[in-house]
Amino acid sequence: MRLLIIGAMDGQIGAASKIAMARGAKVSIADDVEQGLEALRGQGADLVMIDVRRDVSRLVEALEVERIVVPVIACGISTDASAAVRAIKAGAKEYIPLPPDAELIAAVLAAVTAENHAIIHKDPRMAQTMRLAEQVAGSHASILITGESGTGKELMARFIHDKSPRAKARFVAVNCAAIPENLLESELFGHEKGAFTGAVARRIGKFEEASGGTLLLDEISEMDIRLQAKLLRAIQEKEIDRVGGSQPVKVDCRIVATSNRNLEDYVRQGGFREDLFYRLNVVNLGLPSLRERPLDIPILSDFFIKKYSETNAIAIRPLSPEARQMLIKHSWRGNVRELENTMHRAVLLASGATIGPEAIILTGAPLGGHDPVVSQVTHAAAAVMSGAGATQGLVGRTVADVERDLIIDTLSHCLGNRTHAATILGISIRTLRNKLKQYSEEGVSVPPPAGGEERASL
């Protein structure tokens, strides 16, 4: 992990740095926000710690404007509680008091940056896919991972990186569907100062960040066909041109791309360049849907129950046989992601000694053109009402009110990421944006977009 510390902290910075480095972090230091931004533009970071006496608000706003996605935590030696509150309100994810406590810093670093990349499986179909992935991971070939949404394509890309000779270098992911097409070129290739309005300084792109490591182009089929030509050149020549630049920049990164489309069909339809398809499709890994790997449903369910019980400090309850059969028989259009969300809800809704059918809310196609959010919320309310009076807070409220709170709470849980929130809710990103626009016009406070998403997308 690369940690950037901004501020002097009256001598405590050395102690904080040593603790972070003892936990495996590579630490760099900047005296103020401007120096910190220069470091982020030039070399990036996985986490930023900033002294509360520096301008936390300025840092967070600049990160949003420049679309630099990195979590920020504030720290300080002051006992002034208001300083910590201001930092959190400005956008810091956590606050650490100094002098530093080793265990506290370790816990916060883990909470902010930890990601679980385990691929849980037992089914022979998935085991076969994993063997193929491990076999090709050691090569330098480009890999195309295909499969339905929610099957774990990004997890597979990380698995390939971790098993490759580049494992000690960076893994950089770009969601081609989440970034507006007019910004994606700069995101990939970087830009020079003054290249366009808002380009306040030179910034390296994801190709340069990933040089020596792996670059994941997530949902590459959503990339504009005009940009695909520049991408093809970058992959073939191993060099990129920053937007507004005059000299090519050499890069060396392994490309892994994902798509939930049938790219061969999309090529025939004219939506994807054939030459780029063949350049990416040196090895194709097709991930099976969850319904094609039924033996994985029980073990994944147990894994998510344990995960979210621990996250929410709830006693771990086993699945009842009836609930387990419900899960096995479900079609799982959203695959592992849908199962994860279902088990998260079940952990929160269960009230007995086991997680029974009353806690299992299964999503499905809305009937008769009803709003999908309303259908889901109504289903949730009905399911919860059957469970030992656990819905006293819902009685007397309209479905619209419950729907709004569900959307806002989900968005907050996703730290403002519209794409992730829409996936969890089971609705399209367009539907979510329309809802948020309506709430904003009604005066409801809506969480701001995550750093990698454009505010204009609202």
What pLDDT band is residue 375 in, cutting at 50, 70 and 90?
very low
Sequence-separated (6 or more) residues with CB below 8 Å from residue 241: 189, 230, 248, 249
pLDDT score of 426: 75
Burial (Cβ within 10 Å: 0-12, 13-18, ≥19) of residue 110? exposed
Strand 254-259 to 214-218 pairing:
parallel
Q: What is the mean pLDDT of the chain?
A: 83
Return the percent helix, strand and coil in the chain, to nearest 5. 50, 10, 40
- Domain 124-288 coded CATH 3.30.750.24: no
What pLDDT band is residue 152 in, cutting at 50, 70 and 90?
very high
pLDDT tens sequence across 403-447: 888 898 888 777 778 887 787 787 877 788 889 988 888 888 888
Sequence-separated (6 or more) residues with CB below 8 Å from residue 138: 163, 164, 165
pTM of the complete model:
0.64
Euclidean distance between CA atoms 6 and 58, whole angstroms: 13
pLDDT score of 455: 37
Q: CA 193 from chain center: how many Å?
A: 28
In the chain, where the domains are located:
2-113, 124-288, 291-457
Burial (Cβ within 10 Å: 0-12, 13-18, ≥19) of residue 129? buried
pLDDT at position 118 over 90? no
Which numeric CATH code is attached to 2-113?
Answer: 3.40.50.2300
pLDDT tens sequence across 181-210: 878 999 999 999 888 877 778 888 999 999
Task: Tell me the CB-side half-sphere exposure of residue 266, using CA atoms within 13 A.
Answer: 20
Q: State the Rg of the chain over Cα.
A: 23
Residue with tokens 């998260």: 344
The count of residues in the chain is: 458
**Does an H or E element contain 78, and which?**
none
Fold matches, 2-113 and 124-288: yes
Euclidean distance between CA atoms 266 and 215, whole angstroms: 23
Percent of the chain with pLDDT over 90: 44
Which numeric CATH code is attached to 291-457?
Answer: 1.10.8.60
CA neighbor of 59 nearest in space, from 76, 46, 77, 71: 71
Residue with tokens 């997308």: 457
Task: Tell me the CB-side half-sphere exposure of residue 275, using CA atoms within 13 A.
Answer: 9
What would the two tokens of residue 81 be? Answer: 């509680």
One-letter identity of residue 24: G
